[in-house]
Amino acid sequence: MEQPLLSETRSELSDRESGKWSAYQYAGRTDSAIPTASSFAGTEVSVDEIRSAAAASSNYYPPSLHGALVSSPEPYPPEQAIVPQGRYAEGYSGTRPEYRRGTLSEVEIRELLIDHVGHRHCWGSRPARTWKIHAVEDCNVYVGTLDTFIEERETIKETEPYTDGNIDGKHNGPELGVWELDLRSQFPVLFVPFKEVQEKIPHSEVLEKCTACEGRGGIVCSACNADQEPGFYKENQMFKCLACHGRGLIAHKDGSDTICVKCNGKGKIPCSTCGSHGLIKCANCKGRGSLLSRSVAIVKWKTLSTRKVNANSGAASVPDEVFHRAKGVQLCNTQAQQCTPAFFADSFFLNKFSSDVIAERAAVPIATRVICERHTISVVPVTRVTMVHGRRSFSFYIIGQDREVYMKDHYPARFCWGLCPCMEWLKF
């Protein structure tokens, strides 16, 4: 049975001392067949847990994974969770839990807006400085993520001209399977966006005859052996010299003749394509006649991400990408081989939101291993500010812990008539 790690008495004592919201810390689910590392504040998955998960799986994962996890830290340290404590019945109706950050004063709001307007060369600062702040509304947004870190392996055939040397074939040992390769040294940090490596599969080299030239090292010249049967050719094929029309002599207007320098008086010249050898050097084997073939493993590590945003009507007009980029407060950060929905003892809304994120897990391609998953839920503080001047008004948003300002294209003092970015035509 899942229970909060933070006792109720300790939570109440902490509330009285700090005057802040209590933080949820929850234990991992124990009913899962796969061991999880559900923990608060982004504790990493331990090597033992991954090994246990791999052992529980029906497929064996190579030991290259285990060494990599030791040096694969979290990409970023999460913030401490801040959510309200209350009776579970209060949140069971599905209402969103509240989060309050420090109240922004009028001076801070104007400074943020003036700084934002100052980066737009065609925006005037007068409305930001003089218009009245009519309303300040908290409309916080909840962002859920599920990052699935996968490894994909496939094999391709690679050939190159054989230029002598040792061949690493099956006589040196059995050919390894693609999932038997130990890529301990190549394994990346967990949850990198993408990494690809190529690795030769040991004992897979084979010497083959070049099919393009049938092992001769050359292909039949199409200029002087065009009518020959496939695979047959003739040497010393000659063509009539076009300079002297086959005479071997060049006639002049005074009636004299001189020897043709192009054919040296023979009246015929060799094939310009192959030099009358009948064959052209094979480009496939570089004239060697043999190819060295081997199997190469293409290994790709990448992160499949699921992003979900829950915004109320006050922030519904802001694109989801803005909230994904914003810095918020993490309510949970769980890592496991397969994440399960988070559990909040006092919030049905957060439990359902977490379940929805997990349910939209990205599809994993065939011939792919899921190495680890990371599930986070964050609250992004959002303040909606409305400013008025007479009958005119406009709104903007202050988003995230970094207090980034977002505003649509309805700022009243603009001098480019909606043709932003301003003066772009000068760059041409």
Q: Tens digit of pLDDT for each residue in 189-219?
A: 999 999 999 999 999 999 999 888 888 888 8
For 78-82, 364-368, 415-419, which range has the lowest pLDDT when averaged over its residues? 78-82
Q: Does 416 or 92 have the greater pLDDT score? A: 416
Q: Which pTM was predicted?
A: 0.64
The pair of three-digit structure tokens given for residue 88, joined into one six-digit string: 């579970």
DSSP 30-52: SS-SS-EE--GGGPPPPHHHHHH
Mean pLDDT of the chain: 76
Q: Tens digit of pLDDT for each residue in 386-414?
A: 999 988 999 999 999 999 999 886 778 76
Q: How far apart are CA 76 and CA 147, in angstroms?
A: 14
Q: How far apart are CA 342 and CA 26, in angstroms?
A: 8
Q: How confident is the model at residue 101 (pLDDT cuts 50, 70, 90)?
A: low
Q: What is the model's pLDDT at position 228?
A: 65
Judged by DSSP in three states, 245 sits in coil
Q: How confident is the model at residue 416 (pLDDT cuts 50, 70, 90)?
A: low
Q: Name the helix (H) or strand (E) containing 307.
A: strand 290-310
Q: What is the model's pLDDT at position 321?
A: 93
Q: Which residue has the tokens 């200029």?
A: 223
Longest CA pairwise span in the chain (Å): 124
* Beta-carbon contacts of residue 185 (< 8 Å; ≥ 6 apart): none
Give 197's strand partners.
299
Q: How confident is the model at residue 26 (pLDDT cuts 50, 70, 90)?
A: very low
* Beta-carbon contacts of residue 157 (< 8 Å; ≥ 6 apart): 293, 294, 295, 296
For 75-84, 139-148, 175-184, 329-338, which range has the lowest pLDDT when averaged over its residues? 75-84
Q: How far apart are CA 114 and CA 111, in angstroms?
A: 5
* Mean pLDDT, residues 242-269: 82
* Nearest residue to 81 (alpha-carbon basis) of 424, 377, 396: 377
For 142-156, 256-270, 342-356, which range has the lowest pLDDT when averaged over its residues? 256-270
Q: What angle do CA 373, 374, 378 make, to 5 degrees?
A: 155
Q: How far apart are CA 77 and CA 333, in angstroms?
A: 10
For 97-106, 138-147, 165-174, 350-359, which range has the lowest pLDDT when averaged over its residues? 97-106
Q: Does 36 or 365 have the greater pLDDT score? A: 365
Q: What is the model's pLDDT at position 201?
A: 94
Greatest mean pLDDT among 109-123, 170-184, 206-220, 229-243 lies in 170-184
